[in-house]
Amino acid sequence: MRAVELCVSLVAVTLSLPLLLTLAALSAVTFRAWPFFRQERVGLGGRRFSIVKIRSLPVDTASTAAKHELVAMQNARFGRFIRRTHLDELPQLWLVLTGHMALVGPRPEMPALAARFSPAFARARATRRPGCTGLWQLSPAASGLIGDAPEYDLFYVEHANARLDCWILWRTVVQFGRPSAGVTLGDVPRGVVTRRAEGSGLGHVEPALDLTERVGMSGARDGVITLDRTALTAET
């Protein structure tokens, strides 16, 4: 699967290079600054790494600004566009080639926010390389914080396989640039879901157990977890 991922990533990097350079030039003109910037994120095994993004905000924006603060911020139309379409994340395809990220996986989180995860949730996410796209990224919950809807990452960690990855990539293409309510766990086809064997070391993310006890997320919305957990159980 890694070999296929590398081939797909290489093709995607090659095809997207003209667009990447165009967006970088527009960013440089819009913000009068170097168009690329780095942010530290938490990846596989809890190790930290740097992601590269196209600049979509003014230079004086705090690198640790919360998502709701960025939404409320006055910003250039170009910046709003590439953030809304996630085109500012195109450089992350290069990180798939280096092995820091995968095409599909949990979204990489900043250390300050990842520190608020419960140990169980952090361990579950650390078993997978962060992804350029994923269930949480496609979900309605993506307008908030990862910790507000941990069921998406838990579902992916528990059921990750090549068929599920292909389905997520397909939905990413279909959903790109179109108004959408997002993907819920109930939308995941039964045919792309598999269950890990017992003893895989991921028993702590078994969806049949109580997520509120296992995730113990700071600020997690119990009502949302319970609702999506019902859909998750129905699909498995």
pLDDT tens-digit map of 158-172: 999 999 999 999 999
Instruction: Delimit the domains of the chain by residue range.
Output: 2-235
Threshold 0.85, pTM exceeds: no
Interval 95-128: pLDDT, tens: 999 999 999 999 999 999 999 999 999 999 999 9
Mean pLDDT of 188-215: 53
How many Cα atoms sit within 13 Å of 200 on the Cβ side? 15
Mean pLDDT of 198-214: 38
Three-point CA angle 183, 187, 189, nearest 5°: 130
- pLDDT at residue 143, rounded to an integer: 85
Asked if residue 51 lies in contact with residue 92, where contact means CB atoms within 8 angstroms, the answer is: yes
- The β-bridge relationship of strands 48-54 and 36-42 is antiparallel
Interval 125-148: pLDDT, tens: 999 999 999 999 999 999 889 999
Interval 58-78: pLDDT, tens: 887 765 555 555 555 556 789
- Cα-to-chain-centroid distance, residue 195: 21
- pLDDT at residue 76, rounded to an integer: 77
Q: How confident is the model at residue 220 (pLDDT cuts 50, 70, 90)?
A: very low
Q: Tokens at residue 235, please?
A: 């699909």
- pLDDT at residue 72, rounded to an integer: 53
Interval 4-33: pLDDT, tens: 899 999 999 999 999 999 999 999 999 999
The dihedral sign for the CA sequence 78, 133, 151, 163: positive
- pLDDT at residue 49, rounded to an integer: 97
> CA nearest 45: which of 171, 136, 157, 129?
129
Mean pLDDT of 29-41: 93
- pLDDT at residue 70, rounded to an integer: 59
3-state DSSP call for residue 18?
helix
> CA nearest 173: which of 104, 83, 96, 74?
104
Residue 214 pLDDT > 60: no
Distance CA 56, CA 83 (A): 7
- pLDDT at residue 197, rounded to an integer: 42
What is the separation, in whole angstroms, between the first and last Cα of the chain?
23
3-state DSSP call for residue 33?
coil
Interval 1-10: pLDDT, tens: 788 899 999 9
